[in-house]
Amino acid sequence: MMSKVCQHICMVRHGQTDWNLAGRLQGREDIPLNQTGILQAEECALAIKQKLDRAWAAIVTSPLKRARQTAEVIARIVDVGVLIDDMDLCERDYGKASGMTAEERGRIYPDGMYEGLEDWDVLKARVHRAVIKAADDFSPRDLLIVSHGHAISSIIPELQTGGSVRLKNASISMFTYKKPSLVTVFYNKTHDELGD
């Protein structure tokens, strides 16, 4: 029997790191937030608290430092007491291109086929699995999830039609979930782009 309850899931990309600033692929590298990233996480948290105004049941996060730090800031400001790590929310594995700048990647991998690159469908399947599991675990309560740019992009249907939309640091994407459907409400909005 299908659920009649519509649950809200808010996904947040982590704040800025020094590697973001340098244009380096982070992938599974465990890079912390920089000072700008901490400020972005705080602004994002305030926007969630003031403009989305929901009783969030929990925050489920990638355990990588940049995501975990973002989740901790949000938990403190929004007053969410449950914080859970899920490895399936980690960023895409870029293999040997991890840590490289765009210039280095273009020179070493001109075809864009990075050695050891995680397949897009594998990324999409594991992130979708993590989101649906978390939603089911906390159903029908609303949920916050903190993850990474490509990880979040992989489950937004509107980004699967070609083109390249880069999710901004500390951007917010909102979904509704009524089993079995995950539907995008909006995506890639920073704290100042959210309506009242």
Catalytic residue flag (residue 191): no
B/e letters for 119-142, b = 16+ CB within 10 Å, e = fewer, are: eeeebbebbeebbbebbeebbeeb
Tokens of 178: 């009524």
Write down the catalytic residue from 8, 42, 91, 150.
91
Computed from CA positions of residues 144, 150, 155, 161, in that sequence, does the dihedral angle turn out positive or negative?
positive
Tokens of 160: 């699967």
Q: Decide: 174 and 191 in contact? Cβ < 8 Å.
A: no
Write down the catalytic residue from 14, 148, 150, 191.
14
Catalytic residue flag (residue 91): yes
Tokens of 113: 């086929």
Please list the active-site residues: 14, 91
